[in-house]
C-alpha cells in the first residue's frame, strides 16, 4: 500500500469525505504493523469515534467508542470484582464448578498428559473423579478411582473460594487446608495447566 505514510495520507482524505468505514479498515493495518505509530492511532481513534456517534445500535456505539478510548489511553486497568460472586458460586452445582476448571484448561499444553484425581468433600460427603485425557478435563460424580494419581480432600467452601479466585488449590494444599495424598505433584501438574483469564484485554491493538 506504499507504506504507512502513504496509507495515512489516503486515509485522511477519506476521513474528510466521511468514508469512515474505509478509513477504519486501512488504518487498522497500520496500527497492527506498528502499534506505536501515534498518528495512526489518533486517526483510527477519531474515525471510530465518528462511527460511534453515527451508530444507531447502542452495542455498536459502545464498541466503537471503547476502541477509540483504547487507542488514546491504552487498555484499562481498573480493579473490579470477578464475574462470579461468592453467593452465586455457592448456589452452583458441583458439575458446573468442575466444568469451569475444564474451561480454564490449556488444551495444547495438556496434550499428551494424563492425570486422574479423586476429590472428596469432607463437609458435604460428595465425591468426584477429575480426569485429564487427550487435552480435555472431564469429571464424574459420586465415585472414586482406586488407580487415581492422588486424592484431594477439602470442603466445598474452600472449593468455592478457589472458583471465585480468592485462593488456589496449591496455596490451600500448602497451608494444610486441603489434604492431598499420597503426593501433591499430580495436583500441581494439573493446576499448572489451568489458564487465568484477564478481564481487560485489547480489542483494537494487536
Question: pLDDT tens across 143-192, in order?
Answer: 999 999 999 999 999 998 888 878 888 888 888 899 999 999 999 999 99
Summarize the confidence of residues 18-32 as an average pLDDT: 96
The single-letter DSSP state of residue 20 is: H
Does the pLDDT value for residue 81 go beyond 60? no
Summarize the confidence of residues 33-59 as an average pLDDT: 96
Q: What is the 3-state secondary structure (H, E, C) of 31-70?
A: HHHCCCCHHHHHHHHHHHHHHHHHCCCHHHHHHHHHHHHH
In the chain, CATH 3.30.1050.10 covers: 86-191
CATH superfamily of the 4-73 domain: Alkyl sulfatase, dimerisation domain (1.25.40.880)
- What Rg do the C-alpha atoms of the chain give, in angstroms? 24
Summarize the confidence of residues 67-72 as an average pLDDT: 94
In the chain, CATH 1.25.40.880 covers: 4-73
The pair phi, psi for residue 129, each rounded to 5°, is -115, 130
Contacts of 95 (CB under 8 A, 6+ apart): 139, 141
Query: Is the Cβ–Cβ distance between 112 and 132 less than 8 Å?
Result: no
Q: Count other C-beta atoms under 10 Å from residue 143's C-beta.
A: 9
Dig out the grid coordinates for 112 from the structure: 499428551
Does the pLDDT value for residue 80 go beyond 80? no
Give the percent of the chain with pLDDT over 90.
71
User: Partners of 133 in the beta sheet?
Assistant: 136
Query: Is the Cβ–Cβ distance between 51 and 43 less than 8 Å?
Result: no
pLDDT at 174: 87
pLDDT at 79: 63
Does the pLDDT value for residue 43 go beyond 80? yes
Does the pLDDT value for residue 4 go beyond 80? yes
Does the pLDDT value for residue 84 go beyond 70? no
Dig out the grid coordinates for 96 from the structure: 458446573
DSSP 96-153: HHHHHHHHHB-HHHHTT--EEEEEEETTT--EEEEEEETTEEEEEES---TT-SEEEE
Does the pLDDT value for residue 117 go beyond 90? yes
Determine the straight-line distance between the first and last CA of the chain, rounded to whole angstroms: 19
pLDDT at 60: 94
The single-letter DSSP state of residue 204 is: S
pLDDT at 86: 81
pLDDT at 147: 96
pLDDT at 90: 86
The pair phi, psi for residue 56, each rounded to 5°, is -80, -30
Give the percent of the chain with pLDDT over 70.
97
Q: What is the mean pLDDT of the chain?
A: 91
Question: pLDDT tens across 194-205, in order?
Answer: 887 777 778 888
The pair phi, psi for residue 189, each rounded to 5°, is -60, -45
CATH topology of domain 86-191: Nonspecific Lipid-transfer Protein; Chain A (3.30.1050)
Amino acid at each position: 500500500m506504499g507504506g504507512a505514510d502513504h496509507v495515512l495520507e489516503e486515509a485522511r482524505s477519506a476521513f474528510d469525505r466521511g468514508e469512515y468505514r474505509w478509513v477504519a479498515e486501512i488504518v487498522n493495518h497500520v496500527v497492527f504493523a506498528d502499534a506505536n505509530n501515534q498518528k495512526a492511532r489518533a486517526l483510527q481513534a477519531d474515525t471510530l469515534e465518528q462511527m460511534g456517534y453515527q451508530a444507531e445500535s447502542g452495542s455498536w456505539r459502545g464498541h466503537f467508542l471503547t476502541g477509540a478510548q483504547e487507542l488514546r489511553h491504552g487498555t484499562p486497568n481498573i480493579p473490579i470484582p470477578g464475574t462470579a460472586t461468592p453467593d452465586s458460586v455457592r448456589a452452583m452445582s458441583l458439575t458446573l464448578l468442575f466444568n469451569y476448571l475444564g474451561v480454564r484448561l490449556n488444551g495444547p499444553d495438556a496434550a499428551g498428559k494424563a492425570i486422574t484425581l479423586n476429590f472428596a468433600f469432607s463437609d458435604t460427603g460428595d465425591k468426584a473423579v477429575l480426569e485429564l485425557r487427550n487435552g480435555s478435563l472431564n469429571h464424574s460424580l459420586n465415585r472414586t478411582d482406586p488407580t487415581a494419581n492422588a486424592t484431594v480432600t477439602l470442603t466445598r467452601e474452600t472449593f468455592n473460594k478457589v472458583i471465585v479466585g480468592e485462593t488456589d488449590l496449591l496455596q490451600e494444599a500448602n497451608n494444610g487446608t486441603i489434604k492431598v495424598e499420597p503426593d501433591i505433584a499430580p495436583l500441581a501438574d494439573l493446576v499448572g495447566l489451568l489458564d487465568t483469564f484477564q478481564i481487560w484485554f485489547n480489542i483494537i491493538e494487536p
